[in-house]
Structure 1
């Protein structure tokens, strides 16, 4: 199809996998987007080498406040594009298991979908 760039998106444990694909020396993807990542470590955050977007809910026992703070402190120093979006009032799983009858969850789900689409539209320009 002629594509020259590829991105990876990961939700929950898929967020960990996306960071693996975007790690230093891997050269497997050109950009990643993750929402409420699970199993992610500080070392994996330190190792990211491609543009990264993180969609983070307020309440998340897996992507803890400590990991959020670490990502926001370290990633901007790595020389890669970085987009961190915070979703107040939402919890782990909001971007893939939202209750569409709950207006706040529905808005968060839509915002996350639009954020990912926009991110890859910017980061994967040019085929």
Structure 2
């Protein structure tokens, strides 16, 4: 995990969804489509962060879907006040936080959320940002049938085996500068996924840094264009595979 996973900007706007439960976990829900669902796997800022909820609102309206943002951290929420003050990052104790929220611990919960959606909706997709990226890939793996397509933006801790095992239409949104989704992983994805027989959409964002799609600075013209393009790319992808 890198410092880039903590940097970011809070957007304006007020989320218009509601608090609910998914697979017994706290969840933000927006949209009313009984047939189509999107599972949003959040980053380190957690399920309560307004940006992730605003994106969920956009997906619900523009894709015509019911969108779910479950809590993936067992009720724990990192302090946005501390996150936004780089001088205080030492107070977060990220190593212990990441141990409490390891892949081994959270994979089962992510699967349970997707399984719950399968009982409620005819078509389901997943999108993962940073921390949530590996979870989206695991949902779309060969030995699973938990989602119909996935999208990821600047995934963190994604492994080559997870890329190799993808078995559903997959979209990757990759910024040029990203110490987590490295050049090696970019090359591996673009060499490997086209051999797997699944639809693949690779979106490259030149001059843009990690976390832009969910925490980009709207006052920076290039980041504003990037975060808008990322939202539009995901909307088009889900429209194509969920409708």
Question: Aligning the two structures, in what range does the TM-score lie when normalised by the shorter sequence?
Answer: over 0.9
Structure with the higher helix share, 1 or 2: 2
1:67 partnered with 2:185: yes
Question: How far apart are residue 15 of structure 1 and its match?
Answer: 0.6
Partner of 2:117: none
1:101 pairs, out of 216, 219, 227, with: 219
Counterpart Cα distance in 1 of 2:127 and 2:237? 10
Partner of 2:207: 89
Find the residue that maps to 1:95 and give its secondary structure.
helix
Question: How far apart are residue 117 of structure 1 and its match?
Answer: 0.2
Counterpart Cα distance in 2 of 1:65 and 1:124? 30
Higher RCO (CA-CA < 8 Å; seq separation 6+): 1
1:80 pairs, out of 185, 195, 198, with: 198
Deviations 1:18-68 (A, max 9, x none): 001001111000000000000101111000000000000000000000000
1:124 partnered with 2:242: yes
Question: How far apart are residue 124 of structure 1 and its match?
Answer: 1.1
* Higher alpha-carbon Rg: 2
Q: Which runs of 5+ in 2 are unaligned?
A: 1-33, 36-120
Find the residue that maps to 1:6 and give its secondary structure.
strand
Partner of 1:46: 164
Partner of 2:79: none
Counterpart Cα distance in 1 of 2:131 and 2:199? 22
Find the residue that maps to 1:96 and give its secondary structure.
helix
Question: How far apart are residue 9 of structure 1 and its match?
Answer: 0.3
Counterpart Cα distance in 2 of 1:64 and 1:27? 28
Q: How many residues align?
A: 125
When normalised by structure 2's length, the TM-score is 0.51
Moved over 2 A (4+): none
Q: Which runs of 5+ in 1 are unaligned?
A: none
Instruction: Give the alignment of 1:29-44 within 5 angstroms.
Output: 29-44=147-162
Counterpart Cα distance in 2 of 1:80 and 1:120? 15
